[in-house]
Amino acid sequence: QVQLVESGGGLVQAGGSLRLSCAASGRTFSRSVMGWFRQAPGKEREFVAAISASGSSTYYSDSVKGRFTISRDNAKNTVYLQMNTLKPEDTAVYYCAADAARFVTSLTYNYWGQGTQVTVSS
């Protein structure tokens, strides 16, 4: 079993930055792909970023590439999402996910956090 708890969300002005954290508990964190997804009001949940178990490979959606950075600290069982140059369209609930069952960019992860709200004002 893996439990995930997101933190770091909040209200920020366009152009600002936030860093989200996802604290994981469980036996297999260091061997798990980790991902970030988001869901805006009235929209489906979408892929944001993912990182391989070792941290050597990262993946980003086109909408955030160049602005967001995913990283992990396996010693702390934590994955991060550094979000820079935020835009109003980044407003969403951000979810941490662990252990992709199929593809890292899909919604097939085995474990999910409860989400943290990110609101970007214009």
* pLDDT tens readout for residues 60-94: 999 999 999 999 998 999 999 999 999 999 999 99
In single-letter form, the type of residue at position 76 comes to K
Tokens (6 digits) for 10: 């909040």
d(C-alpha 26, C-alpha 103), whole Å: 21
* pLDDT tens readout for residues 4-44: 999 999 999 999 999 999 999 877 678 899 999 999 999 99
d(C-alpha 48, C-alpha 35), whole Å: 7
CA 38 centroid distance within chain: 8
pLDDT at 57: 96
